[in-house]
Homo-oligomer: A and B are copies of this chain.
Amino acid sequence: MSEFRQNSVTKEWVIIAPERAKRPDQWKHERPARDPLPPYRDGCPFCPGHEEMTPPATYSVQTDDAWSLRVVPNKFAALAPTRTPTRHAEGPFLQADGFGIAEVVIESPRHDESLSTLPVETIEQVLRAFKLRHVAMAADPRISLVTIFRNHGPLAGTSLEHPHSQIIATPIVPPHVRDPWREAQEHYDTFGTCAYCELLRAEIKQEARVIGETDHFVAFCPWSSKTPFEVRVFPRRHHASYTWSHDSELYDLAYLLKDALERLRVGLGNPDYNLLIRSAASGDEDARHLHWYLVIVPKLSTTAGFEMGTGIYINPTAPEVAAEFLRKVNLSEA
C-alpha cells in the first residue's frame, strides 16, 4: 500500500511505494565494499608530491613534515573570486558575473581512502576544515551562502578517485534554499518553536527510523525520505549555522558520520552518494527558525519526468525498512 508523506518543515511530499520495492539487500551493488585503488597514483593532482598541480592551499594540516589535509582553490571552478557580484538586467533577463569562491578539501594524502574508511580523528579534521573555511568565506560581505558537499562516485557527479569534498560560496541565496526557510519562519511565527527541533524530537520518540545517537547528534532515515537509504544527521542543540559547532561536538559528529557511511558502504556495497551540509545563509546564523543538518543521499535510483514535474519523489523503500537494515549491518565485516 503506497502512501504520500509530507516533510513537516519544507511541506514537500514524497510517495512511499513499497509494492515496487526490492528487498533492502537487493539494493546492494555487486562490488566490493572498498574500491581496489592504489595508495598513490601518478598524475593524480591530489596525491602528495603533486602540490604544484593545484593552486596554493588556503588551509592545511601538517603532521611532521607532511600534510594530512589540504584545502585548495578549485582549478576548474564554475565561479571565480576575481569577478564582481554586480547584477545586470535587460528586460526579463537578469544576470550576474560568475563571482564566487570554490575550494576543494583534500581529505587525506592516501589515494585509496574514502571518508568512511578514514579514522574518526581524520574525519573530525575534515569537519573542522569545513567549519574554518565556511567562516572564512562567509566573512566576505559579498558572499550570501556557503554550500559544503561531497560527491562520491560517478553517479554522484565525480570522476576523481582521490578522497575530497567541495565548498562553494555564492553571492546568491536561491529559491530552492529560501522557500523551505520561509515555511520554517512561518512555523516559528505561528508556534514559537523551531520546526526542525520538533521534527527531531518526534523522530527520536518514534525510534523506528533512528540508526544512531551520540551525546550531540542523531542519525536517522527521515520520515519523508525522497530516496532509499537517505540519512540525515541532526545536531540536538538548536543552531542555525554549522559554523556554531563546538570543537567538542565535531568529534561526536565525525564518529556518527563514519558509522552511518560505513553502514551504507558495507550494507549496500559502496554505493555512490552525495553528502551535503544545509546551514543558514550569511546574516541568518542566529535565526531561531533554522537548524543546520547533514544529509547523505545514496544514488540508487533514477529520477524521471514525474519527479521533474512535481518534485514528488517515488521512494520504493520505506525509511523504517531502510533504518532497520542499516542498524543490522555488521560493521565487523568492514
Chain A residues in the interface with B (C-beta under 8 A): 1-6, 8, 10-13, 15, 17, 20, 76, 78-80, 83, 87, 91-98, 145, 147, 149-151, 154-158, 166, 168, 170, 172, 174-177, 179-180, 183, 195, 198-199, 202, 205-206, 223, 274-276, 278, 297, 302-306, 308-312, 314
Contacts and interface: CB of A to CB of B under 8 A. Distances in A.
Contacts of A10: 175
Interface SS, A side: mixed
Given A4-B95, A147-B306, A275-B305, 19 more contacts: A3-B96, A3-B97, A4-B98, A5-B95, A6-B94, A8-B94, A12-B175, A15-B78, A17-B98, A20-B76, A91-B202, A92-B199, A92-B223, A151-B304, A172-B312, A174-B310, A274-B304, A274-B305, A276-B309
A306 B8 contact: no
B174 A304 contact: no
A331 to B, nearest CB: 25
Given A8-B92, A79-B15, A305 B98 contact: no
The 10 closest A-B pairs by CB, nearest first: A176-B311, A157-B304, A149-B305, A2-B98, A8-B92, A17-B78, A6-B94, A274-B305, A4-B96, A147-B309
A12 B172 CA distance: 10
Nearest to A303: B157
Contacts of A17: 78, 98
A80 B17 CA distance: 11
Nearest to A8: B92
A103 to B, nearest CB: 12
B276 A80 contact: no
B305 A157 contact: yes
